[in-house]
Amino acid sequence: MDKVAMMIKARRLFKDICDLPTIPAIVSKVVALLDDQNSAPDEIADLMLVDQVLAARVIRVVNSPLYRTRNPILSVKRALMLIGFKSMREMILTSYFVEGFKKKEQPFDMKMFWIHSFSVGALSRYIGQLGGFPDLEKAHLVGIVLDIGKVFLGHYCKDEYGEMLETIKNTNCTTHEAEYEYFGTTHCEVGLCLAQRWHFPSEYCDIISHHHFSELATEDPFLTAIVSLADYYCLSRSTLEGIAQVGAPGRSEENAWRVLSEFAPDLTSVSLIRFLDDLDEVYGSVCKEVNLLFNTMTVT
């Protein structure tokens, strides 16, 4: 697969679309401030209050069962102090991602898609913790937004994408390979275009672009390895019939396992297959967390 040609095709798909979901400029500014640990909480809270939709959303989510607060949180600044910069950044980007595509028609079940995305996020956090990754909120967030290209292709190329999913049912063809056959590009390149349009930080863009070719990631190979393995696990274990298919672990997963082992040598005592099998034990509790997040983020 020629990455440059695939990027050209992906950009061409974007060219004529004028109703792309957007993230308001003010929200991008808030996220940039939250990325900087030296930012002043007052400055961030003031900026958040300029966007009433954002402020209301933050108050709603922080008072949901997800955060288990004892007393109601009524101010944005208190919400920020309570959950911290990193969790706030994660919550804001996740909610805009969900919101942006909520009402867009898809040829697949969006509920299953969200559940899958949130599962990859939760499992990325877990694998990150096992491997000693320093920013677990980032691992969680990148895991959630990994497949944004799929919702783009599903909506803007609905009929073709639906036909493609139908064609590969009960075959060994992976979704990634089928996308390449049908569109000359995949959800990775399309996801990169969308992530750039939304001004996601560059390492998120690199991971979205390379999560099925982890060996090509340059910005943060450790995080790429974590989310690639979480994604592979969730794809191989859950019943995502009609949305996605994977084969046996391939070069990308083997590379991710090697990179993870470099950063976390304790994990090397088992094989990749055994590591994936062991994740079955925690997957039940991950699913509980995912349901909570799903209900909180998708409430109207």
Residue with smaller CB distance to Fe ion, 147 or 189: 147
For residue 177 the two structure tokens come to 């390979």
Distance of alpha carbon 3 from alpha carbon 214, whole angstroms = 13
* Stretch touching Fe ion by CB under 5 A, among 49-57, 76-84, 142-150, 264-272: 142-150
Distance of alpha carbon 197 from alpha carbon 215, whole angstroms = 25
* Stretch touching Fe ion by CB under 5 A, among 76-84, 101-109, 140-148, 161-169: 140-148
CB of 109 to Fe ion, least distance (A): 17
Rule CB under 5 A: choose which of 88, 97, 120, 147 binds Fe ion. 147
Residue 172 burial by Cβ neighbours in a 10 Å radius (0-12, 13-18, 19+): exposed
Overall size of the chain counted in residues = 300
Residue with smaller CB distance to Fe ion, 117 or 261: 117
* Stretch touching Fe ion by CB under 5 A, among 12-20, 22-30, 93-101, 146-154: 146-154
Residue with smaller CB distance to Fe ion, 147 or 289: 147
Rounded alpha-carbon distances, angstroms, from residue 289 to 227, 241, 294: 17, 22, 9
Residues of this chain, 252-281, that bind Fe ion according to CB under 5 A: none
For residue 23 the two structure tokens come to 């993230």
Q: Number of residues in contact with Fe ion, rule: CB under 5 A?
A: 1
Residue with smaller CB distance to Fe ion, 147 or 220: 147
Per-residue x/- marks for Fe ion, 100-139, CB under 5 A?
Answer: ----------------------------------------
Burial 54-91 (b: 16+ CB within 10 A, else e): bbebbbebbbbebeeeeeebeebebbbeebebbbbbbb
Which residue's CB comes closest to Fe ion? 147
CB of 263 to Fe ion, least distance (A): 22
Residue with smaller CB distance to Fe ion, 147 or 206: 147
Residue with smaller CB distance to Fe ion, 85 or 257: 257
* Stretch touching Fe ion by CB under 5 A, among 21-29, 144-152, 202-210, 245-253: 144-152
* Stretch touching Fe ion by CB under 5 A, among 72-80, 137-145, 147-155, 221-229: 147-155
For residue 180 the two structure tokens come to 């390449």
Task: For residue 201, give the 3-state DSSP assignment.
Answer: coil
SS (H, E, C) 57-103: HHHHHHCCCCCCCCCCCCCHHHHHHHHHHHHHHHHHHHHHHHHHHHC
Distance of alpha carbon 92 from alpha carbon 27, whole angstroms = 8
Residue with smaller CB distance to Fe ion, 85 or 198: 198
Residues binding Fe ion (CB under 5 A): 147
